[in-house]
Amino acid sequence: MILVGIGLMLGAGFYLSPQDKLRSSDAIVVISGGETAERVNEGVELYWAGWAPLLIMSGAARDEGPSNAAAMRKLAITAGVPADKIILDEEARDTISNAQNVRALIGDHGIGSIILVTSPYHQRRALVAFRHFLGSGFPIVNHSSTDSAWRKNGWWTNAWARHLTWTELTKVTYLSFAFPRT
């Protein structure tokens, strides 16, 4: 029983952070949240490496002021990405609305495939939401930021990471029931 518990503990981090092999896509979608700057940096690196010609920045303002998407756009422009290569979703307030809003944007811009960038602990939940709203056949490359403080093979070593892991597992479980695979 102890070995099963250890196996589940070790596997939880890998389950939450699936990583696909990179392939060329029509756009890189970067969603805001914890570690937003790290996510933007990863999206910009992918853009400059030629994996996609467009960046979609998704995220509303938490309070008054500019949206997270606008702040993300500013970071990308500072890194040299041309403004006309960045599409904004300034309304999304959570992972579900990120996916809903990006669905509309990709339709408006004729985008047929994406690289989805978020923090490693958030990858599984983001993928479940995006698969639901974009459809199971829509090509999504799941790719996490590499500069996260959370580690899939060491999340149990501090209280913040343990809390985050259990919270994400709970949210993924909920979404898996709310959005069953078809």
Provide the pLDDT for residue 2: 63
pTM: 0.91
Q: Where are the domains of the chain?
A: 15-178
Fold of 15-178: Rossmann fold (3.40.50)
Provide the pLDDT for residue 88: 96
| Cβ atoms 41, 73 nearer than 8 A | no
* pLDDT lower than 50: segments of the chain: none
| Cβ atoms 34, 119 nearer than 8 A | yes
Which residues have C-beta within 8 Å of that of residue 117, sequence separation ≥ 6? 28, 29, 30, 31, 39, 42, 43, 46, 143, 144, 145
Provide the pLDDT for residue 8: 59
Contacts 24+ apart (CB under 8 A), 9-14: 9/156, 10/153, 12/155, 12/165, 12/169, 13/121, 13/151, 13/152, 13/153, 13/154, 13/155, 13/165, 14/152, 14/153
